[in-house]
Chains A and B, each alone.
Chain A
Amino acid sequence: MSMEEVRCPLCGKPNPAELEVCQFCEARLKPLTGAGNSELEDWLGSLRSGSSGESQTPSTPSWERSEDDSADWLASLRKEPDVDDGKAQESGETEWWAPPPGTDAQDEGFPDWLADIRSQAVDAEPAAPPQAARPDRPTASAPLPREDAEPDWLQRVRARKQEDEGTPPEEPAASTDEPLPDWLAGLGGAAAQEASQEQLPDWLSSSETPLPAPGMQPPSDDIPEWLLGRQRSQDAQGEPQAEAEVPDWLTGLSQETASPDMAEAEADAGRGDQAGWFTGLEQPAAEEPAAPPASIFSAPQDAELPSWLSGLAAAVPEQAPPDAEQEESEAAGILFDEQADGAPSSSAPPFEGERPSQPLSGRALDGTISPFTEDLPGWEEEPLAGEEASEPVLHDEPGLARAEMPSWLEAMRPVEAAAPVIPLRSQDEQKVISSGPLAGLRGVLPADAEIASQRAPAAYTLKLQLNDTHQAQAEMLEKMVKKEGTPRELRESPVISSQQLLRLVVFFALVAAVLAQSVFGLVSVPAPAPSSAVFSARAAVDSLTAGAPVLVAVDYPAGFSGEMEAVASGLLDHLMIKGTYLALVSSQPAGPALAEHLIGTANAAGGHTYNEIGQYANLGYIPGGTAGLFAFVHSPRRVVPFALNSNGEHDPWKTGPLANVNAISDFGLVIVITNDPENARAWVEQTRTGLAEKPLLMLVSAQAEPVVRPYYEGKPQLVNGMLAGVAGGAAYEASLVRSGMGGRYWAVLGPGVNLAVIMILLFGVLGWVIDRFGQSKGSPSSRKESAS
């Protein structure tokens, strides 16, 4: 922690030194000390008003009121024990326990019942204060009675102790003129001369109010009701009865805890000046030689005791009597932080763990540092040793603020992580409360210690590990984002683009070539030479007899009808020439119509009259795709039971060539006309096993040839003959020495294909030149460069 920062005593977080309250928890960083009398008056005034509202009432006697408002009952804490009277008077401060003028200071504030007891004890055995008992012990801030006002029970305890130790009892302080120890003399003198008429708070007056003088009527406000009642009865009877003044419960308590030693009983009577709650808290401290509680009254043995008190009394062990003076001083020290030297006492009080080892008030009492000075005490400027040990050291990077975990995130942490490991501190390591009503106590509110002991979140670096590729991508992304934000001019799209113009040029060139060749026959194109596949197909057709059933599968869409009809027209012409019976099927819905158109085209090309059901049967559509083909292979009658061209009068499966056909193997030849390689493969796969030795011909489009040809050229040969494209049809017609669609289309197709090849090469080279050497902005290279 730097010097400019002050760590909050409550939350443990650093704060700027100039702040008075913590910026995180709003706890006060600087105690309300040393701010001058004005601030002191404020909080003390509030304390007075809050604690004793009756102190300002008119019923308060005048001798209890302070003549000077600036005086404080705690002002004595700041004063050194050896402050002389004159200095005290010059400061304008008055002792709060000072008796009013004309009254006995040693008896003021005590109830009359207690005053009677004191008077009896003084008469019987005048006690002398143990002058050398604890000479180095710092004086307590608690209002100590003057020398002559020392309780008699205390004197008796000292006398008994000295008797036990074999030392001669000290001479009782018979006269006030006898010199006293410095610390006691100063205290007593200061107390006597600085006896203030300031009003005493109720909570202090209940325990520390001096006993009033005998015969003096104490203010009724200071006397509880039960005491008032007993006082009235005593006045009425006219004889003091100590036992009668003792309440029953107190009598029983004294009976239960009565020690055989009277000195012990009187030592406890000293505690009777203290608050009753304090006495009860002091008793459970059994680890020290605490004095058993005893009543200062001689209670009757048969007094009744409440049950809760009976249990409490029974739990009190009988132990050796403590040092009465020590107990008394410790009791006062708890209340007023009088233990200044920090030396551990032989008898630990009940608040042992909460008492400071070096209380502020103690330092004030020994005259070094006053808790109400403006200077910050040392503990506030420097953290405690225990805090430094428990707090993790964080090395914050410059310019980075320490992160704080949000509350919601902190709530989500596991319990093991959130629960701080609070080391058990000893008494000396616990922090002293520096301000507020609990000032001087140790470890009362250990919240700061818990917070400080929590583990700080791990600090992670925010630097990203980027390489050159990442940086390049980031720059590219940045450019893209910037480019999206910049407005660009909208280009008017031309009516016709260069690409469309190129399309038009290619289209019209091909159309012109085709029309010119078709109309005018500019170029003579020879028919292609028949391949082995063509010869195989022709041989298969040639093997057929007239009227042999031939299955023709028309499996192409309408868009390919031009090409497929050119391929198949020559072979159909050959089949019609042979007089075979054609059974047309299709695995596509439009197939039957295309089959009819194919028959018509073949009739027109070859001059045939295949129009009746006796010459061909359009069996229609085979549903089910591949499964339908499989079913048709094994049971064609069930799959396609009717012929579309029969008009319902003629059943081709009952009469004619199909009457003997029950499977696909019963056909003399199977011809598949398709443009799709998948259809061709499906027909091959599904029919090959069912055809046995019957031939299978494939009339396929040019685009399906690369896929179908392996079935023809492979061993075993799955396809017995094949015609591929217009060239295949033209070759078949050429083998038959007949003219047909194949030859006619090939005559037009050839020049067009050559022109297309030339254009492909030409434009390919042109594109490469433009891409390589072109500087036009719209070229692909320039676009690529602009994109990069």
Chain B
Amino acid sequence: MNLESSALMELVGGLVGFFLTIMVFSYILGDNPFFRVAINIFIGAAAGYALVVAWYSVIWPQLLLPLIFGSQSERLFVLFPLLFAGLLLLKMSSRLSWLGSPAVAYLVGVGAATAVGGAVLGTILPQVSAAVNALDWDPTGQGAGSAWLQVAAGLLMLIGTTSTLAYFHFGARPGLGGIPRRSPWLEIVALLGKGFIAVTLGAIFAGAFLAAFAALVERMEFFREFLVPLILPG
């Protein structure tokens, strides 16, 4: 590939990217065919690329290659996933879909066990420990002032955690008129937790906005890098 062809490829790729970006931006006027075409192209390209990746990363090297060129033990090892893969394909048939249930059950069971185990050991227990350790008085670490701030942060974290959990406590007893109402002190704590939740969701929304704005900046940088050389060559 010489330089000209490479430049041509970059030009064609740049034009495709430019028009696709304009088509996606057309959504600012509402749903329109240009936006749909761009989205369909993106989904189709992603699906096709995923299929290629699955073939070259999973099916061929991990299933077919050991089955064809592998040793006896490797062949026996891949028989089990091969059988389950075949049973999963039977899910497409309404009459034989029940044969794929064991494979699905295996996948769901293993996935659930892994997720639950990781959540308990990797998130719940460490976070509980972190919430407890936030109130650990350690004046030797970063000085007295920092220790007081650390305790204050720990207290704030404790209040936030407790109030947020209280907000999701929906147990109540029938009050006046038969309308179930929580106790007044629980209402106050829940209101405080509601404030913490609002701050958290606001931070997440701000992060989402920053992420989206970063994407816009990236596209504008693309425009600048693509159009400026075309408009102002040299």
Contact = CB atoms under 8 A, between A and B. Distances in A.
Interface in B116-139: 118-119, 121-123, 126-127, 129-130, 133-134, 136
Interface string A654-667: 00000000000000
A511 B230 CA distance: 20
A675 B130 contact: no
A642 B126 contact: no
**Chain B interface, >50% SS class:** helix
A560 B114 contact: no
Contacts of A704: 207
Interface stretch (A169-177, A336-344, A607-615, A625-633): A625-633
Contacts of B119: 685
Contact of A748 (B53, B200, B220): B220
A592 B56 CA distance: 11
B98 interface: no
B114 A627 contact: yes
A166 interface: no
B209 A756 contact: yes
A685 B49 CA distance: 29
B153 to A, nearest CB: 9
A276 interface: no
Nearest to B203: A706
A621 B54 contact: yes
A772 to B, nearest CB: 22
Contact of B220 (A515, A641, A724): A515
A432 B210 CA distance: 101
A752 interface: yes
Interface string A66-77: 000000000000
Interface stretch (A131-139, A417-425, A712-720): A712-720
A83 to B, nearest CB: 84
A590 interface: yes
A510 interface: yes
B3 interface: no
A745 interface: yes
A485 interface: no
A507 interface: yes
A593 interface: yes
B172 interface: no
Max chain B Cβ within 10 angstroms of own Cβ: one of A500, A560, A703? A703
A515 B114 contact: no
A155 to B, nearest CB: 94
A688 interface: yes
A705 B207 CA distance: 7
Contact of A702 (B49, B136, B210): B210
Q: How large is the interface on A (under 10, 10 to 19, 20 to 34, 35 or more residues)?
A: 35 or more
Nearest to B124: A685
A519 interface: yes
Interface string A690-705: 0000000000011111
Contact of A686 (B114, B134, B207): B114
Nearest to B118: A685
Contact of A621 (B53, B130, B136, B218): B53
Max chain A Cβ within 10 angstroms of own Cβ: one of B119, B129, B204, B219? B204
Given A504-B28, A589-B50, A710 B122 contact: no
B211 A560 contact: yes
Contact of A589 (B54, B133, B216): B54
Nearest to B222: A562
Contacts, number: 173
Max chain B Cβ within 10 angstroms of own Cβ: one of A519, A625, A627? A627
A685 B122 contact: yes
Interface in B186-214: 200, 203-204, 206-211, 213-214
A309 interface: no
B29 interface: yes
Interface in B24-54: 25, 28-30, 42, 46, 49-50, 53-54
A518 B28 CA distance: 22
A702 B218 contact: no
**Chain A interface, >50% SS class:** helix
A558 interface: yes
A626 B29 CA distance: 40
A540 interface: no
A714 B128 CA distance: 9
Interface in A282-306: none
Interface in A738-762: 744-745, 748-749, 752-753, 756
A150 interface: no
B24 to A, nearest CB: 10
Contact of B111 (A620, A626, A725): A626
A586 to B, nearest CB: 9
B206 A644 contact: no
Nearest to A760: B209
B210 A710 contact: no
B62 interface: yes
B56 A620 contact: yes
A620 B56 CA distance: 9
Interface string B154-177: 000000000000000000000000
A718 B218 contact: no
B215 A563 contact: yes
A716 B130 CA distance: 6
Max chain B Cβ within 10 angstroms of own Cβ: one of A519, A563, A592, A756? A563
B123 to A, nearest CB: 6
A500 B224 CA distance: 26
Given A590-B49, A703-B211, A689 B121 contact: yes
Nearest to A499: B30
A496 B29 CA distance: 8
B218 A563 contact: yes
Contacts of A625: 111
A500 B110 CA distance: 48
Contacts of A504: 28-29
A518 B216 CA distance: 12
Contacts of B228: 519
Nearest to B109: A627
A186 interface: no
B177 to A, nearest CB: 12
B58 interface: yes
Interface string A556-577: 0011111101100000000000
6 contacts: A510-B216, A514-B217, A562-B217, A620-B56, A710-B127, A724-B207
Given A589-B54, A682-B115, A745-B218, 4 more contacts: A688-B122, A689-B122, A725-B211, A752-B216
Interface of A: 496, 500, 503-504, 507, 510-511, 514-515, 518-519, 558-563, 565-566, 589-590, 592-593, 620-621, 623-627, 630, 640-642, 644, 675, 681-682, 684-686, 688-689, 701-707, 710-711, 713-716, 718, 724-726, 744-745, 748-749, 752-753, 756
For the complex of A and B, the 9 pairs showing the least CB-CB separation, nearest first, are: A562-B218, A685-B122, A714-B130, A685-B118, A589-B50, A703-B207, A563-B214, A702-B210, A702-B207
